[in-house]
Chains A and B, each alone.
Chain A
Amino acid sequence: MLIAATLLVAGVGAGAFGALLGLGGGILLVPVLTLGFGVDFREAVAVSLLAVITTSSAGAAVYLRRGLADLRLGMTLELATAVGALLGGLIAFALDQRVLAGAFALMVAYVAISMLRAGRHAERAAAPDAGAPVAGAADPGAAAVPARTADDPLERHMRRLPLALALSLVAGVQSALLGVGGGTIKVPAMHLVLRVPLRVATATSNVMIGVTASASAVLYVLRGAVDPYVAGPILVGVFLGATAASRLSERVPLRVLRLLFVVVLAWVALQMALRALGLVT
């Protein structure tokens, strides 16, 4: 019972921390499970994928109801992320776990540096994965999804769509290999390539996570890489943490939290790099 409670609390922490900063739980869950509980890297990725599906679905429901996410754009790009996730899910079983740990270290280091450089706009600039559904949706500065007119990004930037699709494919591979939502790639793909307003890109990225993660999660589940006893409390914890954080977001000093988060990410990157180099087990 104590171990289950510890897993639940770890899930709450990962979900809350991630949601407060607009990052998915995955970026914290994988290191918590591998470094904290000694769970196999591949299994941690699988559990993380299930958790991000749940939190992103909750967030997507809010975003869609409030008209903040562009369902058609998301579904167009998620065709590419799903293909990427399928490929990533297959590659994940062929790669050595040290390679995966090294890739995770690089991604975490990139996110940490991005957060430092983003300064006071970090919570917007750090591309979100799952989580923070209600907080993001309630933001009065949020931009609306344009109506299906000439403002439709799919219509306006059709020539750039292949690039956005290619980036989405890479995001799908990243998601499947590392157990994250892939927002670090998808949000810039929509915002910078298709000129979608940042908040809409963020919300739309959240909507896409479910299908992307499902495409690879099914590979992990059916190949026996998921321990349901671990996944259960983690999934519930992450959902509770993300939900609670979305209600507390306005009362939390984000600047302090962000700095703390950067320190945590730097430590995670170091540990994962050491693991990749075979210096720790």
Chain B
Amino acid sequence: MIPPASPAPAPPGPPDGDPVTARVGHLLGVGTLAIVLTVSAGTMLVLIGGRTPLHDPGPRLDIARLVEDLVGLRPEAVLWLGLLLTILLPVARVLVALLGFVRQGDQRMSTISVGTLAVLGISVGLALLTR
């Protein structure tokens, strides 16, 4: 069984004031807020438009038309934008960390970050190829 954590006072911030950790933390905080606000707005617009979840099937994501639909303020496009932001936030987090690691000259973490981005890229590629 896992033992309880040893007590220690909570530190005031990232270890050694690490700027990469601080920047990533800030991005995640702002990004989450943006996601929740966008998804909330999209959901409200869909409901005002008279759509009913579970009764009316939602449209599939059409990336080619997303920008056009967003300009036209289509409720589904706003909702999809929020859901896409959800997936993109972790990707942005890795990118921000990668830039920080490169600036710090941390080769190991830079390589790992590039590897993670490559896996995410493969995932998108496979999804597009096999949809």
Contact = CB atoms under 8 A, between A and B. Distances in A.
Real binding pair? yes
Interface of A: 1, 3-4, 7, 37-39, 50, 53-54, 57-58, 60-68, 70-72, 75-76, 78-79, 82-83, 85-86, 89-90, 117-118, 121, 124-125, 137-148, 187-188, 191-192, 197-199, 210-211, 213-219, 221-224, 226-233, 235-236, 239
Interface string B83-113: 1101111110110010000000000010011
Contact of A142 (B10, B31, B76): B10
A229 B90 contact: no
A37 B54 CA distance: 8
A247 to B, nearest CB: 16
A64 B89 contact: no
Contact of B28 (A61, A197, A226, A227): A61
A236 B80 contact: no
B94 to A, nearest CB: 6
B123 A7 contact: no
A4 B57 CA distance: 13
B73 to A, nearest CB: 16
A58 to B, nearest CB: 4
A199 to B, nearest CB: 5
Contact of A232 (B15, B24, B82): B82
A215 B36 contact: no
A75 B130 CA distance: 28
- Interface residue tally on B, bucketed by range: 35 or more
Contacts of B84: 221
Nearest to A53: B86
A196 to B, nearest CB: 10
B contacts with A: majority SS: helix
Given A211-B93, A222-B131, A224-B131, A64 B25 contact: yes
A61 B26 contact: yes
Interface in B2-52: 2-16, 18, 20-22, 24-26, 28-29, 31-32, 35-36, 39-40, 42-43, 46-47, 51-52
Nearest to B106: A72
B5 A199 contact: yes
Q: Residue among B24, B42, B56, B123 with the most chain A CB within 10 A?
A: B123
Given A121-B4, A124-B2, A228-B59, A216 B123 contact: yes
A65 B76 CA distance: 34
